Amino acid sequence: MNFAHSTPGTPNHAVVVTRTSDMQWAAVEDDQAIGRGDASRRPDGRLFISVDAWHGAVFDRIADAMLADLKAPLYTVVDEADHDSRSAWERAGFAAVRREWGYDVTTDPQVTGLGSVRPPSGVTIVPAGEAEERPLRALDRIIRDEVEAAVGWQTMPAEVLPRPAGTTVVDPSKYAVARHSDQYVGLVRVAPLTRQPRIGLIAVRADWQRHGIARALLAHALGSLHRSGTTSAWAEVNESNAAATALFESIGARRAAGTLELVRS
């Protein structure tokens, strides 16, 4: 697919923006690549776009081409500290709809105070890699349905892992779960990234919330990382999620970054 959008460039050359595939655009001036645009569809169906260009004018031209080719609503994310990028997207008609905090979380139980935390009576923690796949997937679906019926899954931290249609648990070995009797009632997912492990999700079934299970799952996950020699982990929390924010800040997690999600309707 090649749709070209020609716009003025330097006095002697025009910037040509071409849609090179369903999800990619390229900007060229005088046979030199000067920028690109990409689009990707998240598992929840929303279409996110990004632009990589050195100059604001080129950014605007790529964004204009993408907006002409794609149907709204369109989404993007920017670092809250990157004022130039935010301004560029606002010029294209985007507006912020939510903020996500990034936390640097120490794993040291002497700092977090989680060393003595245990799950409530009757609940045990099944370590990562030991959870049974079928009940884990069933719990994940129950939790997702509960979140979608309440605040909507779009309020959760952004998940961009590629996954087969309808599959939400890609790698069961990354999940530790809380078990009561023969039921799984909560889960935590930790992605073992090389630079810094990422706590991707902590969630508890609605009928088991406010029993200290989320705190016990976090204590287990951080404790496991600490014993393996990892000193810190990373986590993202929607600023509107008061319970999650309180949980991480209560263990001394340091707010280190902010990400804005913008939309053009």
Positive or negative torsion for Cα 248, 250, 254, 260:
positive
Residue 241 has a pLDDT of 87
Could you say which DSSP state residue 111 is in? H
Residue 11 has a pLDDT of 46
> Are β-strands 32-41 and 183-191 bridged in parallel, bridged antiparallel, or unpaired?
unpaired
The residue with tokens 């020609």 is: 6
Residue 192 has a pLDDT of 86
Over its length of 265 residues, how does the chain's per-residue pLDDT go in tens digits? 344 454 544 444 688 999 999 999 999 998 899 999 999 988 778 899 999 998 999 999 999 999 999 999 999 999 999 999 999 999 999 999 999 999 999 999 999 999 999 999 999 999 999 999 999 999 989 988 888 777 665 655 554 444 555 566 668 889 999 999 989 999 999 998 878 999 988 999 999 999 999 999 999 999 999 999 999 999 999 888 888 999 999 999 999 989 999 999 9
Tokens matching residue 83: 């004022």
- Domain residue spans of the chain: 3-71, 101-264
Residue 6 has a pLDDT of 46
Tokens matching residue 194: 């090389």
As assigned by CATH, the class of the 101-264 domain is alpha beta
Residue 167 has a pLDDT of 60
Positive or negative torsion for Cα 74, 78, 80, 85:
negative
Give yes or no for a contact between 53 and 60, defined as CB atoms under 8 angstroms apart. no
> Nearest 10 degrees: CA dihedral of 110, 201, 246, 153?
180
